[in-house]
Protein backbone atom coordinates (compact mmCIF):
# COMPACT_ATOMS: atom_id res chain seq x y z
CA UNK A 1 0.00 0.00 0.00
CA UNK A 2 2.83 2.42 0.81
CA UNK A 3 4.36 1.74 -2.62
CA UNK A 4 1.03 2.48 -4.29
CA UNK A 5 0.62 5.76 -2.43
CA UNK A 6 4.18 6.85 -3.20
CA UNK A 7 3.74 6.06 -6.88
CA UNK A 8 0.36 7.80 -7.03
CA UNK A 9 1.81 10.86 -5.28
CA UNK A 10 4.81 10.88 -7.61
CA UNK A 11 2.48 10.72 -10.61
CA UNK A 12 0.49 13.71 -9.39
CA UNK A 13 3.64 15.75 -8.90
CA UNK A 14 5.28 14.61 -12.12
CA UNK A 15 2.25 15.46 -14.21
CA UNK A 16 2.55 19.06 -13.03
CA UNK A 17 6.31 19.25 -13.66
CA UNK A 18 6.50 17.30 -16.91
CA UNK A 19 9.31 17.86 -19.42
CA UNK A 20 9.65 16.26 -22.85
CA UNK A 21 13.05 14.77 -21.98
CA UNK A 22 11.93 13.21 -18.72
CA UNK A 23 10.77 9.61 -19.23
CA UNK A 24 10.80 8.67 -15.54
CA UNK A 25 7.04 8.94 -15.22
CA UNK A 26 6.39 6.63 -18.18
CA UNK A 27 8.73 3.96 -16.82
CA UNK A 28 7.18 4.26 -13.36
CA UNK A 29 3.67 3.83 -14.72
CA UNK A 30 4.66 0.78 -16.74
CA UNK A 31 6.74 -0.83 -13.99
CA UNK A 32 4.39 -0.19 -11.07
CA UNK A 33 1.05 -0.81 -12.77
CA UNK A 34 0.00 -3.43 -10.25
CA UNK A 35 0.90 -1.12 -7.37
CA UNK A 36 -1.67 1.37 -8.59
CA UNK A 37 -4.60 -0.95 -7.89
CA UNK A 38 -6.45 -1.07 -4.60
CA UNK A 39 -5.29 2.38 -3.46
CA UNK A 40 -7.28 4.11 -0.72
CA UNK A 41 -9.21 7.02 -2.21
CA UNK A 42 -8.91 8.78 1.15
CA UNK A 43 -5.12 8.70 0.84
CA UNK A 44 -5.22 9.87 -2.78
CA UNK A 45 -7.36 12.83 -1.77
CA UNK A 46 -5.09 13.67 1.15
CA UNK A 47 -2.04 13.73 -1.14
CA UNK A 48 -3.84 15.73 -3.82
CA UNK A 49 -5.66 18.29 -1.64
CA UNK A 50 -4.21 18.12 1.87
CA UNK A 51 -7.70 17.38 3.23
CA UNK A 52 -8.98 14.27 4.96
CA UNK A 53 -12.03 12.18 4.20
CA UNK A 54 -13.84 11.69 7.49
CA UNK A 55 -15.39 8.23 7.88
CA UNK A 56 -19.09 7.80 8.54
CA UNK A 57 -20.16 6.21 11.82
CA UNK A 58 -23.72 5.01 11.09
CA UNK A 59 -24.56 4.71 14.79
CA UNK A 60 -23.22 8.09 15.92
CA UNK A 61 -24.45 9.87 12.80
CA UNK A 62 -27.82 8.14 12.53
CA UNK A 63 -29.66 11.47 12.71
CA UNK A 64 -27.69 12.95 9.82
CA UNK A 65 -28.20 9.84 7.69
CA UNK A 66 -31.92 9.82 8.51
CA UNK A 67 -32.38 13.43 7.42
CA UNK A 68 -30.32 12.89 4.30
CA UNK A 69 -32.34 9.77 3.53
CA UNK A 70 -35.61 11.68 3.89
CA UNK A 71 -34.35 14.31 1.44
CA UNK A 72 -33.35 11.61 -1.07
CA UNK A 73 -36.77 9.91 -0.70
CA UNK A 74 -38.48 13.25 -1.38
CA UNK A 75 -36.21 13.93 -4.36
CA UNK A 76 -36.95 10.56 -5.98
CA UNK A 77 -40.69 11.05 -5.45
CA UNK A 78 -40.55 14.44 -7.18
CA UNK A 79 -38.39 13.13 -10.01
CA UNK A 80 -40.74 10.20 -10.65
CA UNK A 81 -43.69 12.56 -11.13
CA UNK A 82 -44.53 12.39 -14.88
CA UNK A 83 -44.84 16.19 -14.88
CA UNK A 84 -41.25 16.73 -13.70
CA UNK A 85 -39.00 18.35 -16.36
CA UNK A 86 -36.57 15.42 -16.09
CA UNK A 87 -38.82 13.38 -18.36
CA UNK A 88 -38.18 15.77 -21.22
CA UNK A 89 -34.39 15.51 -20.95
CA UNK A 90 -33.95 12.95 -23.72
CA UNK A 91 -31.14 10.57 -22.86
CA UNK A 92 -30.68 9.19 -19.36
CA UNK A 93 -27.21 10.79 -19.18
CA UNK A 94 -28.83 14.19 -19.67
CA UNK A 95 -31.13 13.54 -16.71
CA UNK A 96 -28.28 13.65 -14.19
CA UNK A 97 -28.39 17.44 -13.92
CA UNK A 98 -32.08 17.30 -12.95
CA UNK A 99 -31.33 14.68 -10.27
CA UNK A 100 -28.57 16.82 -8.82
CA UNK A 101 -30.77 19.95 -8.82
CA UNK A 102 -33.69 18.18 -7.15
CA UNK A 103 -31.51 16.67 -4.43
CA UNK A 104 -30.00 20.10 -3.84
CA UNK A 105 -33.48 21.62 -3.54
CA UNK A 106 -34.62 18.98 -1.03
CA UNK A 107 -31.49 19.33 1.09
CA UNK A 108 -31.90 23.10 1.23
CA UNK A 109 -35.45 22.50 2.46
CA UNK A 110 -34.11 20.83 5.62
CA UNK A 111 -34.06 23.37 8.51
CA UNK A 112 -30.59 24.85 8.89
CA UNK A 113 -29.05 22.84 6.04
CA UNK A 114 -27.24 24.47 3.13
CA UNK A 115 -26.43 22.64 -0.09
CA UNK A 116 -24.46 24.34 -2.87
CA UNK A 117 -22.22 23.70 -5.86
CA UNK A 118 -18.65 23.61 -4.52
CA UNK A 119 -16.40 26.53 -5.39
CA UNK A 120 -13.11 26.05 -7.21
CA UNK A 121 -9.82 27.31 -5.85
CA UNK A 122 -10.49 30.38 -7.99
CA UNK A 123 -13.73 31.07 -6.11
CA UNK A 124 -16.27 30.23 -8.82
CA UNK A 125 -18.99 27.59 -9.03
CA UNK A 126 -18.21 24.67 -11.32
CA UNK A 127 -20.71 21.93 -12.07
CA UNK A 128 -18.30 19.54 -13.79
CA UNK A 129 -15.85 17.34 -11.92
CA UNK A 130 -15.95 15.66 -8.51
CA UNK A 131 -17.72 16.45 -6.23
CA UNK A 132 -21.12 17.74 -7.37
CA UNK A 133 -22.49 19.10 -4.09
CA UNK A 134 -21.20 20.51 -0.80
CA UNK A 135 -23.54 20.30 2.19
CA UNK A 136 -23.37 21.93 5.62
CA UNK A 137 -25.87 20.62 8.17
CA UNK A 138 -27.60 22.53 10.95
CA UNK A 139 -24.93 21.17 13.31
CA UNK A 140 -22.07 22.38 11.14
CA UNK A 141 -21.15 18.96 9.73
CA UNK A 142 -19.70 19.29 6.22
CA UNK A 143 -20.06 16.59 3.61
CA UNK A 144 -19.61 16.30 -0.12
CA UNK A 145 -22.29 14.44 -2.08
CA UNK A 146 -22.06 13.06 -5.61
CA UNK A 147 -25.27 11.57 -7.09
CA UNK A 148 -24.70 8.70 -9.55
CA UNK A 149 -27.35 6.99 -11.68
CA UNK A 150 -27.00 3.37 -12.68
CA UNK A 151 -29.33 1.15 -14.70
CA UNK A 152 -31.27 -1.63 -13.01
CA UNK A 153 -29.12 -4.74 -13.11
CA UNK A 154 -25.91 -2.72 -13.46
CA UNK A 155 -25.02 -2.48 -9.78
CA UNK A 156 -22.24 -5.07 -10.13
CA UNK A 157 -20.95 -3.74 -13.46
CA UNK A 158 -17.20 -3.36 -14.06
CA UNK A 159 -17.26 -0.28 -16.30
CA UNK A 160 -15.85 2.95 -14.87
CA UNK A 161 -18.54 4.95 -13.07
CA UNK A 162 -16.44 7.13 -10.76
CA UNK A 163 -13.29 9.09 -11.38
CA UNK A 164 -11.34 11.87 -9.71
CA UNK A 165 -8.91 14.15 -11.53
CA UNK A 166 -6.73 16.26 -9.22
CA UNK A 167 -6.47 19.88 -10.38
CA UNK A 168 -4.73 22.67 -8.51
CA UNK A 169 -6.71 25.59 -9.92
CA UNK A 170 -10.13 24.02 -10.36
CA UNK A 171 -10.14 21.69 -7.36
CA UNK A 172 -13.40 21.82 -5.42
CA UNK A 173 -12.39 20.17 -2.13
CA UNK A 174 -11.42 22.64 0.58
CA UNK A 175 -12.52 20.91 3.79
CA UNK A 176 -11.85 17.88 5.94
CA UNK A 177 -15.27 16.32 5.38
CA UNK A 178 -17.40 13.27 4.84
CA UNK A 179 -17.57 12.15 1.20
CA UNK A 180 -20.66 10.30 -0.01
CA UNK A 181 -21.95 8.96 -3.29
CA UNK A 182 -25.72 8.68 -3.64
CA UNK A 183 -26.06 5.68 -5.93
CA UNK A 184 -29.52 5.75 -7.55
CA UNK A 185 -30.92 2.77 -9.46
CA UNK A 186 -33.18 3.53 -12.41
CA UNK A 187 -35.02 1.76 -15.17
CA UNK A 188 -36.21 3.12 -18.47
CA UNK A 189 -34.54 3.33 -21.85
CA UNK A 190 -34.67 7.13 -21.91
CA UNK A 191 -35.66 10.04 -19.70
CA UNK A 192 -39.30 9.91 -20.80
CA UNK A 193 -39.76 6.45 -19.32
CA UNK A 194 -37.22 6.95 -16.53
CA UNK A 195 -38.17 5.73 -13.07
CA UNK A 196 -35.82 6.07 -10.12
CA UNK A 197 -36.24 3.00 -7.97
CA UNK A 198 -33.99 3.25 -4.92
CA UNK A 199 -30.87 4.88 -3.50
CA UNK A 200 -27.81 3.85 -1.50
CA UNK A 201 -25.22 6.01 0.27
CA UNK A 202 -21.58 5.03 -0.28
CA UNK A 203 -18.90 6.14 2.20
CA UNK A 204 -15.85 7.02 0.09
CA UNK A 205 -13.50 6.74 3.07
CA UNK A 206 -13.81 2.98 2.43
CA UNK A 207 -13.32 3.15 -1.34
CA UNK A 208 -10.35 1.56 -3.12
CA UNK A 209 -9.42 2.99 -6.50
CA UNK A 210 -6.97 2.34 -9.31
CA UNK A 211 -4.98 4.69 -11.50
CA UNK A 212 -5.22 4.16 -15.25
CA UNK A 213 -2.37 5.70 -17.22
CA UNK A 214 -3.87 7.34 -20.28
CA UNK A 215 -2.06 9.59 -22.71
CA UNK A 216 -4.62 11.58 -24.68
CA UNK A 217 -5.01 14.31 -27.27
CA UNK A 218 -7.80 16.62 -28.46
CA UNK A 219 -8.66 17.57 -32.03
CA UNK A 220 -6.71 20.77 -31.42
CA UNK A 221 -3.66 18.62 -30.73
CA UNK A 222 -4.26 16.26 -33.65
CA UNK A 223 -5.00 18.67 -36.48
CA UNK A 224 -1.95 20.93 -36.40
CA UNK A 225 0.07 22.16 -39.34
CA UNK A 226 3.07 20.15 -38.24
CA UNK A 227 1.09 16.89 -37.92
CA UNK A 228 -0.95 16.96 -41.15
CA UNK A 229 1.02 15.36 -43.98
CA UNK A 230 -1.73 15.15 -46.63
CA UNK A 231 -5.35 16.21 -47.19
CA UNK A 232 -8.08 15.90 -49.77
CA UNK A 233 -8.22 18.30 -52.70
CA UNK A 234 -11.66 19.58 -51.65
Q: Across 38-42, 107-111, 147-151, 189-193, which has the greatest mean pLDDT?
A: 107-111
26, part of any domain: no
CB neighbours (10 Å) of residue 4? 22
Yes or no: say if 180 and 202 are a contact pair by the CB < 8 Å rule.
yes
| C-alpha closest to that of 149 among 117, 172, 181 | 181
46, part of any domain: no
Which of the pair, 185 or 20, is modelled with greater confidence? 185
- Is pLDDT of 29 > 50? yes
Lowest model confidence (mean pLDDT) among 1-5, 48-52, 144-148: 1-5
- Is pLDDT of 9 > 70? no
Cα–Cα distance, 145 to 178 (Å, whole number): 9
218, part of any domain: no
Q: What is the mean pLDDT of residues 117-130?
A: 87
197, part of any domain: yes
214, part of any domain: no
pTM: 0.81
| C-alpha closest to that of 84 among 185, 192, 199 | 192
Which of the pair, 161 or 8, is modelled with greater confidence? 161
Q: What is the mean pLDDT of residues 139-168?
A: 86
pLDDT number for residue 125: 86
37, part of any domain: no
Number of domains making up the chain: 1
Q: How far is CA 108 from the centre of its chain?
A: 21
- Is pLDDT of 225 > 70? yes
Phi–psi pair at 184, nearest 5 degrees: -120, 120
25, part of any domain: no
Q: Say which CATH number the domain at 89 has.
A: 3.40.600
- Is pLDDT of 212 > 90? no
pLDDT number for residue 159: 73
7, part of any domain: no
The percentage of residues in the chain with a pLDDT greater than 70, rounded to a whole number, is 84
Mean pLDDT for the chain?
84
Which of the pair, 168 or 38, is modelled with greater confidence? 38
| Domain ranges, residue 162 | 52-207
pLDDT number for residue 112: 97
Q: Across 92-96, 118-122, 141-145, which has the greatest mean pLDDT?
A: 141-145
Which residues have a Cβ under 8 Å from the Cβ of 155 and sit 6 or more positions away? Answer: 183, 185
Amino acid sequence: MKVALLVAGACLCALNAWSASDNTLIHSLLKDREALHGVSFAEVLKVATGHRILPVNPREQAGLLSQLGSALDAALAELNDPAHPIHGAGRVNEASRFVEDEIRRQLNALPGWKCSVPLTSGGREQRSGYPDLRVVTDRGVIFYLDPKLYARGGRAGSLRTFYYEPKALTGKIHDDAIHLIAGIEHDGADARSLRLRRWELIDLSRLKVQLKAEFQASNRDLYRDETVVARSAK
